[in-house]
Amino acid sequence: MRTLPTRTTVGIVGGGPAGLLLARLLHRAGVDCVVLESRDRAYVEQRQRAGILEQGTVDALRACGAADRLDREGLVHDGVELRWDRRGHRIDFPSLTGGRKVWVYAQTEVVKDLIALQLADGAPLLFEAQVTAVTGADTGRPVVHYRHEGVERTLECDYVVGCDGFHGVVRQAIPDGELRTFERVYPYSWFGILADVPPSCDELIYAHSPRGFALHSMRSPTVSRLYLQVPNGTDPAAWTDEQIWDELEARFAIDGDWKLERGPITQKAVLPMRSFVTEPMRWGRVLLAGDAAHIVPPTGAKGLNLAASDVIVLARAFTALARTGSTAELDAYSDTCLRRVWRAEHFSWFMTTTLHTAPGQSEFDTRLQLSQLDRIASSPHAAAELAENYAGLPVF
């Protein structure tokens, strides 16, 4: 049987994008770490989620040698289209942001690339290792308790990082009263589909429609990803494929000769939408990163990028600690990240509430949304505000 590590510098709970990128950055910097992931490798690699990477995320992947396939296969996008009132308006990122752009490269692929590199280097990354508790954070010697192949084990750490998502155990291990949480739940969900059909557009389309919001995204030149706003609690099985395509077509309709291509739907899922922030993102020797610390609604594609920027800051802080013995950057971690987190929270809320139609929404509120969209279309300042936030603010 393999010998499992029992002690490390940084114990990372969760092998999603945050945990894997942190591990890769630390491994490259020579800082010892172990990743414990509750699911098996195939599950983690297939989990369909985000699709848009900002410049800062791409830079970090390049810096840790994990961007070869991204640079070959990723689609570079210079803008997005907003649609409302049966017309479209393009937002051009480079001209509005001093040259920024985004990459379409699925979260599944980022995760696959990071896992392959870590395993090839023999870096400790354990699947099917269910963390059950973290103890001793306030004593200066935190211990991660986990179950692997039916055996209860422990990992002693200098620091523990909770990269275990919104439902993870690390945040819950912090005593009540030590954290403040802020939350907003939205009165609608997204019905997401994957379809084997080339995208009907070169860039993403965000559509405001009296029937509700719709988004046309993509995964590759042959695979489309589309979303419909639906009521909370919608059962994906209640919609036939034809109903889904009909509804998408109705919401994207514009005057002119644009056509939505249809194809076989290979996946369907309904995702609730939430804004959530935990403050601070650290308690003693336990730190939180990514969805474990904050959630954004997906309108604006910030979730994965925010997870990446947290761990970029964290990796720098652990590297500085290892090289100089200074905890200054680690001490500043929470404040440094929360500024960016709240900016992303605001932008995601803004995109969501400007583009969706709430149940029972008044005509007054709809007029406000349309006025805001007209403002974006007619003012380079308003368009630049959207473009800067969408393409991503510099990572500190």
Q: Which residues between 47 and 76 bind ligand PHB (CB under 6 A)?
A: 50-52
188 is known as an active-site residue: no
Among 298, 330, 341, 356, binds ligand PHB (CB under 6 A): 298
Residue showing the smallest CB distance to ligand PHB in the complex: 51
Under rule CB under 6 A, residue 356 binds ligand PHB: no
Among ligand RFL, ligand PHB, none, residue 271 binds (CB under 5-8 Å by kind)? ligand RFL
Between 225 and 340, CB nearer to ligand PHB: 225
Packing angle of the helix pair 303-324, 328-355 (nearest 10 deg): 170
Under rule CB under 6 A, residue 79 binds ligand RFL: no
Packing angle of the helix pair 328-355, 380-391 (nearest 10 deg): 130
**208, 216, 302, 356: which is the annotated catalytic residue?**
302
146 is known as an active-site residue: no
Under rule CB under 6 A, residue 56 binds ligand RFL: no
**188, 206, 227, 333: which is the annotated catalytic residue?**
206
Among ligand RFL, ligand PHB, none, residue 165 binds (CB under 5-8 Å by kind)? ligand RFL
Among 23, 24, 31, 37, binds ligand RFL (CB under 6 A): 37
Among 39, 101, 147, 346, binds ligand RFL (CB under 6 A): 39
Among 82, 126, 131, 314, binds ligand RFL (CB under 6 A): 131
206 is known as an active-site residue: yes
| DSSP structure string for 29-60 | HT--EEEE-SS-HHHHHH-----EE-HHHHHH
Binding mask 291-310 for ligand RFL (x = CB under 6 A): x------x--xxxx--x---
Between 97 and 107, CB nearer to ligand RFL: 107
Rounded to whole angstroms, the Cα distance separating 392 from 396 reads: 11
Residue ranges binding ligand RFL (CB under 6 A): 13-19, 36-39, 44, 49-51, 107, 130-131, 163-165, 168-169, 271, 290-291, 298, 301-304, 307
Catalytically annotated residues: 77, 206, 298, 302, 390
